Structure 1
Amino acid sequence: MEITVKSARRYVDEIPAPLTVAGYWGGELTEEAKKLDTKSGGQLSRVLDELKYKGEFGETLLLPLGEQFVLLFGLGRKRGVSLETVRRAGAKLVHEITRLGFKEAVTETFLAEKFGKKQASYALAEGALLGAYEFKKYKSDPEIKKLRLWLARSSGPAVDRAEIVAEAVNYARDLVNEPPNVLTPAELGERAKELAREAGLEVEVWDERQIQQAGMGAFYGVAQGSVNPPRFIQLTYRPQAKPSRVVALVGKGMTFDTGGYSLKPSESMLTMKCDMAGAAAVLGTMRAIARLQPDCEVRAYVAAAENMISGTAYRVSDVLKSLSGKTVEVLNTDAEGRLTLADAITYADREGAESIIELSTLTGACVIALGDKVAGMFSTDTRLGREVQEAAERAGEKVWPMPLEEEYREMIVSNTADLKNVHGRSRHGGAIVAGLFLAEFTEKPLVHLDIAGPAYSERPHPLGPAGGVGFGVRTLVELLSPSPLNEE
């Protein structure tokens, strides 16, 4: 769907459009809907009484009103309503409007009286832009619907910011949804270069020779089994003035993961094109940061590779020397992400990052613990962890703090090398052990977000279709460039 969201200062009944959307909340018409009802001589009220319309969330009722149509949109009960209600209403609304065949509509800004005009405008616009996302690049004859949606009495700056953030999320979704024969590590490097040219970012992409020369033995060990060579991607945003702080973003960039010789079952490979969702989130964030221009310096690092099987692939019992100098015994080749991330985190540390935020589809254990809607957050620094969690709450993404239990560290100590990449045959505490492993490669404040659950959806979800979700972009943008809209 091609959608344009426009802000307007006028009331909903003052903007000419073939369709006017009004809300029904808590069993009664909203103030904007009441104005339409008065203008129609009580026609809306009479129809509602006759049809016993309840206005459950997402329930719609299309009515003719003079030369226009009015679409009543149910917002559900007042109890438990939140900005997420508004965001999901925006996503659902755009599909209902296009299903009815309208190409232009005006809607009231739902629940602005409760949450304030700025926040309600932002949530509604963001929901509409995210909900309209489709990935039809490889369809032979795709049907692309178009919609122009006016938000009555909305905040222009809020709508503008929503457009920037939603575009960044959808960019990340596009990357995740690309087939792995297209989005190889080299192609991901090219996409990063293109992003840098468009956004005015600094960029450097290393090839396999440079990766080896740098001493990234853990990263290259994973990558060496594929005919598609690895790439190490570096993007930098610098503010015009002296930066308030220097933050590194590290994203897992496995463009396809077979599991290597610890081979995955075939059904588990069906979603493995999403194993670079952390990288996609980091690149999407950089796209938004370049436009929002915060006062901090932001550096992004992606170790892009494929985990394949061949005569040159790494094996169980191999020992790899990481960039940090620490050696790692490989006990499971399907625990490859933490090896690539180890070198990326070390590099980010050495380049002068004051804090590091890392995102990865790292463990099935985290999905078992938190399901497919919530990311696990592991932090070595209480203050940074709190910052990330609060940013996620403001952004509308679900992040839950998890422990880095030091008593479990002995589970990754190897008899052969310094460390081992998994804790043996036991599956207990798998997500925690993975976080402890990553923490071995920096002394700087580190937040590890395990997004294995919410990064990819195998069925449609409230803010989009099946496929890449773009999880993490909204949280990182809110962390690095806090929205002024929170201050009414």
Structure 2
Amino acid sequence: MKHNETIFSVKQTDLSGYDGWVLFLRQQELEHLVWLEPKLGETIRRLKERKLFTGALHQVEVIPTHGLFPTPYLLLIGLGDSSPTPLQAWREAAAAAAKAALKSHLSRLAVRLIGVNAGDDLNISTKTQIAGALTEGFLLGSYRIKSYQRDPELSASLLEVAYYDDSERVGTEELKLEAAITKAKIYAKATNYARDLTNLPSNLLVPENMAVEAQKLAAIFGFECIVHDELEIEKLGMSGLHHVGKGSIHPPRMIVLKYQGTEQWTNVLGLVGKGITFDTGGISLKDPEGMEEMISDMGGAAVLLGVMQAIGTLKPKMNIVVVIPAAENMPSGSAFKPGDVIPTLSGRTVEVLNTDAEGRIVLADGVTYAKQLGAARIVDIATLTGAVLVALGDVATAAITNDESFLKQMLKAAEQSGEKIWQLPVYPEYKEMLKSEIADVKNSTTNRWAGAITGGLFVGIFAEETPWIHLDTGGTAWLWHERGLDPKGGTGAMVRTLVSMIVG
């Protein structure tokens, strides 16, 4: 889906032509708007007295200026009462501003960057961090899902955001501010690209379409791209992927993207993403209610394509191999069945107890193949389990690792990006639950206890001794209602965290 490009700029003067002036306000600042036209200041104070706008986080009020200000409208956006304001609060406040602007059909916004009050000032480090956070928030908050209606309702677009800075140092700081804004745009655009892919109807995104999407990225950014079709998948021994995909008329694909940022192909980071383009559960058929969400079961693959879009632009000095096992999990006469024992690329065999636990089987081949392609560390990301929703709801992504120092890098990146990750335990008793009497491992436990943990540990078996992190976005890749930065539908959760971890 093609989105209108939002122009960001840094300006010192001249607010003519802008539809709205965005005021980000902490709760304690509502009584100190001494620089604002008195009648407008009085209006804001009355809103506070009536508790219509108190400056609470996510609170929004749009008021007309009636010619008392250079812009026709003021957008009052609450920041809460924390001081200093966390960067995530700035992101969420900007997202709220974007949504309010679009609802009011305001396309061009100006934002005071030096602080709310005329006497406020910020050092350049803080200012660039805030500018970056605001830029992410504006772009993520203004995301709109594509409409397939015959006569879609025309919607407003956020065309321009100008950061107004009348401090004396703006000229010397402008390049740093513009660099921060540019980087934030890359992160947000990559996230929105992942959202677009996740939201595609499953009839428009089958494994072959996903391979074509990867090839498009490769052509734009010069990546090496390898796509193995169903015949090559069998020939190479990727039997896990073969068995999961053989029930569909749309055959599976094993997709590889390689980015080489150093002279030697060493210290390679492997990224493996689950690419189940639709999941019916197979023979272990899902409940039909809510099954339409299963267009998002390729959310892990979408995230990695988003990450590679950002990597192609930022060009870090490191080596990355992305592996996406893509398939449809469908019931048919040729589908794999409960009770089957299937081989995998690693040589290990899997006893199938539940065909709706298919993602871990394709990831097993994906992780093994990433190692064969040189990965020295591996992150897999997948909408792996429904059990993660029971544990963490749709708020946090679950993480499992065999290397605590590796996970610390991920957690630091998540903190910087404002995305939530919670580490799950890997006690030996959980691994015991995956033992099979007739195969090397079974793909599901009989009582389904600790499902998010055992699902992740299944994948970890195939990572072996390679440093590995598993991210289960089964709760965070898709939302039924918009919240904060995230829209209803595909969220692109973990794109910004992964890019931050890679780029630093």
TM-score range, shorter chain: over 0.9
TM score, norm. by length of structure 1: 0.92
Query: Aligned to 1:291, what secondary structure does the other structure show?
Result: helix
**Alignment-derived partner of residue 6 in structure 1:** 8
Return the alpha-carbon distance in structure 2 between the equivalents of residues 169 and 76 of structure 1. Answer: 24
CA offset at residue 29 of structure 1?
4.7
SS at 1:136 equivalent: coil
1:57-116 residue CA offsets vs partner (Å, 9 max, x unmatched): 322241232453341413243237421111011111112223223222211238684981
Q: Judging changes above 3 Å, is the alpha-carbon distance between structure 1 residues 418 and 8 closer, same or farther for their aligned structure 2 residues? A: same
Amino-acid identity (%): 39
Q: Residue 152 in 1 paired to residue 164 in 2?
A: yes
Match of 2:226, SS state, is strand
Which residue identity does 2:286 align to in structure 1?
K
Q: Shift of the alpha carbon at 1:14?
A: 5.9
Query: Of the candidates 271, 275, 292, which is equivalent to residue 253 of structure 1?
Result: 275
Residue of structure 2 equivalent to 1:308: 330
- 1:415 maps to amino acid: E
Q: Cα RMSD (Å) of the superposition?
A: 2.1
Q: What's the offset of the Cα at 1:238?
A: 1.1
SS of residue in 2 equivalent to 1:164:
helix
What corresponds to 1:125 in structure 2?
135
Q: Secondary structure at the match of 2:217?
A: helix
Matched, 1:49 2:49: no
Deviations 1:267-292 (A, max 9, x none): 14221110000000011100101101
> In structure 1, what residue type is equivalent to 2:164?
A
Distance 2:263 2:72 in 1: 52
Q: Which runs of structure 2 are paired with 1:80-229 in the superposition (5 Å)?
A: 81-109=85-113, 113=122, 116-142=126-152, 143-146=154-157, 147-153=159-165, 155-229=177-251
* Structure 1 gap segments, 5+ residues each: 483-488
Taking the TM superposition and a 5 Å limit, the aligned residue runs for 1:240-389 are 240-242=262-264, 245-389=267-411
- Whether the 8 Å contact between 2:11 and 2:162 is mirrored in structure 1 is no
The Cα of 1:240 is off from its aligned counterpart by 4.9
1:79 to 82, 92, 112: 82
Q: Equivalents in 1 of 2:105, 2:147: separation in Å?
A: 23
Displacement of 1:24? 2.4
Q: What amino acid maps onto 2:60 in structure 1?
A: E
1:422 CA drift (Å): 1.0
Deviations 1:8-55 (A, max 9, x none): 0426x7676343222322232598x643x1xx3x33333333443533
AA matched with 2:23: A
Question: Residues of 2 paired with 1:165 and 1:393: CA distance?
Answer: 15
Cα distance change of structure 1 residues 30 and 167 upon mapping to structure 2, 3 Å threshold: farther
Offset at residue 196 of structure 1 (A): 1.2
**Displacement after TM superposition at 1:56 (Å):** 3.1
| Alignment partners' CA distance in 2, 1:5 and 1:464 | 21
Instruction: For 1:446 and 1:259, locate their aligned partners in 2 and report how far apart those are by CA, in whole Å.
Output: 27
Q: Cα–Cα, structure 1 residues 49 and 347, in superposed 2: closer, same or farther, change >3 Å?
A: closer
Instruction: Give secondary structure in 2 for the equivalent of 1:21.
Output: strand
Q: Distance in 1 between matches of 2:143 and 2:257?
A: 26
Would you say the 8 A contact 1:22–1:30 is kept in 2?
no
Aligned counterparts of 1:49 and 1:412: Cα–Cα separation in 2: 62
Question: Which residue identity does 2:20 align to in structure 1?
Answer: L
Q: Determine the C-alpha separation between the residues in 2 that align with 1:384 and 1:67.
A: 51
Render the CA deviation track for 1:322-380: whole Å, top value 9, x for unaligned: 10001111111111000000000001112111100000011111110111110100001
Matches within 5 A, 1:401-440: 401-424=423-446, 426-440=447-461
1:24 is the counterpart of 2:32: no
1:486 is matched with none
Amino acid at match of 2:191: V
| Partners of 2:377 and 2:466 within 8 A in 1 | yes
**Residue 475 in structure 1 maps to residue 497 in structure 2:** yes
Distance 2:31 2:494 in 1: 33
- d(CA) in 2 for partners of 1:121 and 1:30? 25
Partners of 2:236 and 2:343 in 1: CA distance: 12
The alignment partner of 2:360 has SS state of: helix
Letter matched to residue 10 of structure 2: A
Which one is further off, 314-323 or 65-74? 65-74
* Residues 214-264 of structure 1 deviation map (CA, whole Å, 9 limit, x = unaligned): 101111111111110001000011115447731010000000111111111
Q: How many residues align?
A: 475
The alpha carbon displacement at 1:384 in A equals 0.6
Q: Show the counterpart of 1:457.
A: 479
Deviation at 1:137? 4.3
Counterpart code for 1:77: G
Give, in whole Å, the separation in 1 of the partners of 2:22 and 2:457.
51
Contact 2:436 2:442 in 1 (8 A): yes
- Indicate the SS of the match to 2:72: strand
**8 Å contact from structure 1 (residues 377, 449) kept in 2:** yes
**Secondary structure class of the residue paired with 1:354:** strand
Contact residue 110 and residue 124 of structure 1 kept, 8 A: no
Aligned partners of 1:205 and 1:234 also within 8 Å: yes
